[in-house]
Chain A
Amino acid sequence: MRPLTYERATDPAAAVDLVAGNPRAAYLAGGTNLVDHLKLGVAAPDVLVDVSRLPLDDVEVLDDGGLRVGAAVRNSDLAAHPVVRRSYPVLAQALLAGASGQIRNAATTAGNLLQRTRCVYFQDVTTPCNKRDPGSGCSALEGFSRSHAVLGASDRCVATHPSDLAVALAALDATVVVLGPAGERRVPMADLHRLPGDEPERDTTLQHGDLVTAVEVPALPFARRSAYRKVRDRASYAFALVSVAAALDVEDGTVRDVRLALGGVAHKPWRASVAEERLRGGPATEEAFRAAATAELEAARPLPGNGFKVPLARSTITATLRDLAGGAR
């Protein structure tokens, strides 16, 4: 671990100034991911700018029923928020499915979204990794790929994004509020994370110095019937093998509307638009759910070590929608 200086930002604009002006500066929020990376030599900034104590820790319920969640709101606090629990079960469940109690107490909303993709080789500086060391090669392609991507990967990188929260927010069409050197802008969740392509070192579309200040979740009345299902090797805490965030609006046995996103399968939260399209207006039956899942997964290209993710994703999507539809009757 290299020596570094630590600074605490007094307000968001000052934080942006500190980081944007120094290519070797980085934001520190809960530190649950970054501090590991500092120790492992994966990240080596010269300056850490602590944004965890900025006044960005409110959950605001908007007039239209939507939410504005401050970037520094802790995962545990957001999960426990009564409106989140009542209006967006998928969000509360996703948060509680992530990490352990201790980590959720430290991790922030923005930090959770901006954690790096997960791969044992990325974390091990003695092995090649295109994300950590562009051009060095991808060790996972022919290596330990049990937890890796089956959708949208490239031959440069097959890592998966580990955030559960991000999957739920993707399903809910959330927007990220970003403060950059040029001012504030809004980035839809769908555009925040990116597929690896030729630049796996970039996990998101943000530029250096961009600071996430809030996440806005639009009102979605039918999200009261929503769920997050995370399949993992260990019940207590583990990264998702596959996860499904879903909200379902069913009337008279017909799907009026649906939101569906997958975790553990791609470099970003995977919005299952193909499946959504097929489901809207169709019957709310297990067969239809399975057919939609199958259609979504036609694009899957599993690796030698993670072929099980395709049938697992199919059956988890089907089961999650089935259980939501069952609740509708």
Chain B
Amino acid sequence: MTTLDVAPAVGSGLARVDGRAKVLGEATYAFEQDLPLPAYLHPLQSTVARGRVTEVDASEAEALDGVLLVLTHLNAPELADTGDGEYTILQSPGVAFRGQIIGAVVAETAEIARHAADLVRIGYEVHEHDTELREDHPDCYEPDKVNPGYPTDTEEGAVDRALADSAVVVDQRYTTPMEHNNPMEPHACVNVWEDGRRLTVYDSTQGPHGVRRTLAKVLGLDPADVRVVSPYVGGGFGSKGLPHAHNVLGALAAMSLPGRAVKLALTRQQMFALVGYRTPTRQRVALGATEDGRITAIVHEALEQTSRIKEFAEQTTVGTRSMYAADARRTTHRLVPLDVPVPSWMRAPGEAPGMFGLESAMDELADALGLDPVELRVRNDPERDPETGLPWSSRHLVECLRTGAERFGWDRRGLPGARREGRWLVGLGVAASTYPAYLMPGSVAQVEHTGDGAYAVRIGAADIGTGNRTVLTQVAADAMRVPVERVHVEIGDTALPMATVEGGSAGLASHGSAVVEAARRFREEHGESPAPGARTESSMAESPDAGQYAAHSYGAQYVEVRVDADTGEVRVPRMTGVFSCGRIVNPRTARSQFMGGMVWGLSMALHEHSVVDHRFGHVVNHDLAEYHVPVCADIGEIDVSWLDEEDLRANALGAKGIGEIGITGTAAAVASAVHNATGIRVRDLPITPDRLLR
């Protein structure tokens, strides 16, 4: 270990370095950038789910005072690359899903743009559409791989025979609905062109460099001529991990108005068609076990949807591959391409819906065995990764379960339907959590001595509200062996060195590892008393452990629910989460992230459900009055804790991701508690009062 001259910053609960600016409203988000000559864009969206635009009458809109541009496929600039169906907008009259961008109005004010957009008359040739995910769909297929690159199917051992020979079998279907990310800050971008070939974009994104790469490719620009600035981001939840069609629209429209800052903020309703969502899933989970609770066979099959114009294959059953020991195991993914918007990343894609299925089935298996569900998980904790055969970098699921049981008071759990307090049926539930410890190569950090012992640390990463800016400050301070006050972290700009997306719970590990190596090299090159202006850049160091270990985070979730005996209303007065994620860099921001993840899980369990009316092909509950997410009054006591550890086999920081693990397994724990309260098994999310009426 390096000796520090100052108390280590890593491990301290440093308050957010940008907290004050955010609270005071001084942190300027993408749309709020004060730029000369702003103009405002309102998108035009198709009102049919499949067909062709046959007529555009923009005369009324164009006649309106203040309208600068009506853009459609008839007058849109040609894109340089049309290989990605999501980004290929306004290149043809074709309509591939309802709500697809078919044009834009740009005007002097947002109100004029919106009014004018209503005045553009569009005629269609309407084709039959299909938006419904069905098990017997003739177009169902096996994708080549699933996000972000896993094999589609795995099979080990004679699974069906092992299942048939098992003493106890649970074989059930579970479903999760379409869900939308809904970050608080809507997707927004401001595009400014200079000289017709240089583009500056102020964007709300989880990865400025990724937006630059995509826009440069689609528009045929040298990436050096595209600058993406993203100083603050009001939540992403995966939907800002990649640019979406509105980014291309903003750039195309601004091209016709050189020098003007064309501002685009999507409405909440537009976000339900344009910025990704979680596919609905149909899952089959079959578990076979011996009478003493040793799992002998695991089957996890998932059916999902994708868009006909672009494949996104969510990795729903991948978490199951490494979760429990069994000699025989099969996991599969099948996709149905539909006339729907393009699905994408949302809050632990794969693990969130998949662990609902697996962990619900584990609860049912424990029930069938007459075994405590905690004990069932303990008995099937594998010594090595069942999928790869590799040793674990660290795996402390059992410790999480035991610690959580103690903190939560798991011993108070009784038989289903046995505990009643007044009008409430009370139940306790449990489930396990897991999330892979991703480490994304490619990030570069720059350290510069700016004088008087102060350092600038530059990396073109994002902070989507997680605290990335703050924890990178701590990591850099320790790596430079200076107090945090001496470190100024600059992020959110492609003028800064390359950084990978803040997603996959890999931001800190990937960006922090580059910062650590840049700091080490800086000291090596410039010593302890560097000249002002001394500067070093580096990517993360090669790890000798790379590929030698299976690295995942783990957690245990305990939930108490109260179900109103008269109305079926579910309340969650308390939740306990215990996590094992390696070193915790900042307990204050970490607690907030774990808690946020658990709230996502509660939301998935009880609320979130995008309802598609298949006659029209779009989500009809497309606002926050009808699409429910929990607010403070819906959340009870959340007890968050973690094991004190570091996992240096996972990465140089010893810190595994914490952003998404909190959602995994949570919905299963809620369903487990609901079963314990009522005796009713709910296998289809969300768990609404009508499911529990008796």
Contact = CB atoms under 8 A, between A and B. Distances in A.
Most buried by A among B114, B568, B625: B625
B680 interface: no
Nearest to A309: B690
A315 interface: yes
Contacts of B613: 127, 139, 143-144
Interface size class on chain A is 35 or more
B115 A233 contact: no
Contacts of B630: 234, 236
Contacts of B633: 235-237
A234 B567 contact: no
B607 A233 contact: yes
A175 to B, nearest CB: 30
A270 B472 CA distance: 59
B367 interface: no
A21 B571 CA distance: 51
Interface string B559-572: 00000001111010
Contact of B620 (A121, A308, A311): A121
A2 interface: yes
A266 B630 CA distance: 27
B634 interface: yes
A55 interface: no
A241 B618 CA distance: 23
Nearest to A41: B118
A126 interface: yes
A124 B620 contact: yes
Contacts, number: 85
B144 interface: no
Contacts of B611: 144, 146
Given A1-B111, A127-B616, A139-B613, A238 B628 contact: yes
B693 A1 contact: no
B85 interface: no
Interface in B96-111: 111
Interface string B618-630: 1011110110101
Interface string B534-573: 0000000000000000000000000000000011110100
Given A124-B620, A144-B611, A312-B690, A231 B569 contact: yes
Interface string B596-639: 00000000001100010101101011110110101111100000
Given A3-B115, A143-B615, A315-B693, A234 B566 contact: no
Contacts of B607: 233-234
Interface string B571-608: 10000000000000000000000000000000000110
Contacts of B626: 120
Interface string A166-201: 000000000000000000000000000000000000
A319 B567 contact: yes
Contacts of B47: 126
Interface string A212-245: 0000000000000000000111111111011000
Interface string B255-285: 0000000000000000000000000000000
A109 interface: no
B620 A231 contact: no
Interface in A94-130: 100, 120-121, 123-124, 126-127
A318 interface: yes
A34 to B, nearest CB: 15
Given A1-B115, A234-B607, A312 B568 contact: yes
B123 interface: no
A126 B98 CA distance: 10
B6 to A, nearest CB: 44
B566 A319 contact: yes
Interface in B191-215: none
A146 B621 CA distance: 11
B615 A312 contact: no
Contacts of A139: 613, 615-616
Contact of B567 (A127, A144, A315): A315
Interface in A281-329: 308, 311-312, 315-316, 318-319
Interface in B385-422: none
B380 interface: no
Given A236-B632, A315-B693, A144 B566 contact: no
A235 B571 contact: yes
B689 A311 contact: no
A233 B566 contact: no
Most buried by B among A41, A139, A235, A236: A235
Given A121-B620, A143-B620, A236-B630, A1 B114 contact: yes
A296 B622 CA distance: 34
Contact of B689 (A143, A231, A319): A231
Contacts of A232: 569
B126 to A, nearest CB: 13
Nearest to B566: A319
A211 B114 CA distance: 31
B634 A235 contact: yes
A319 B694 CA distance: 13
Nearest to A238: B628
A3 B606 CA distance: 40
A64 B53 CA distance: 67
B154 interface: no
Contact of B628 (A123, A127, A234, A319): A234
Nearest to B611: A144
A138 to B, nearest CB: 12
A233 B690 CA distance: 9
A19 to B, nearest CB: 23
Interface string B357-369: 0000000000000
Contacts of B616: 126-127, 139
Interface string B167-204: 00000000000000000000000000000000000000
Nearest to A127: B616
A93 B549 CA distance: 58
Contacts of B693: 308, 311-312, 315
Contacts of A238: 628
Nearest to B629: A234
B688 interface: yes
B17 to A, nearest CB: 30
Contacts of B622: 120, 124
A238 B632 CA distance: 14
A202 B118 CA distance: 25
Contacts of A127: 613, 616, 620
A133 to B, nearest CB: 14
Contacts of A234: 606-607, 628, 630, 634
Interface of A: 1-3, 39, 41, 100, 120-121, 123-124, 126-127, 139, 142-144, 146, 231-239, 241-242, 308, 311-312, 315-316, 318-319
29 contacts: A1-B115, A1-B118, A2-B115, A2-B118, A3-B111, A3-B115, A39-B114, A100-B631, A120-B620, A121-B620, A127-B620, A139-B615, A143-B620, A144-B620, A231-B567, A233-B607, A234-B628, A235-B634, A236-B630, A237-B631, A237-B633, A239-B625, A308-B693, A312-B568, A316-B566, A316-B567, A318-B566, A319-B423, A319-B567
Of all A-B residue pairs in the complex, the 7 with the closest CB atoms, nearest first, are: A308-B690, A236-B633, A319-B566, A126-B47, A231-B567, A120-B620, A236-B631
Given A144-B613, A237-B633, A315-B566, 19 more contacts: A2-B118, A3-B111, A41-B118, A120-B620, A123-B623, A126-B616, A127-B613, A127-B620, A139-B615, A144-B620, A233-B606, A233-B689, A234-B606, A236-B634, A241-B690, A311-B693, A315-B693, A316-B566, A318-B566
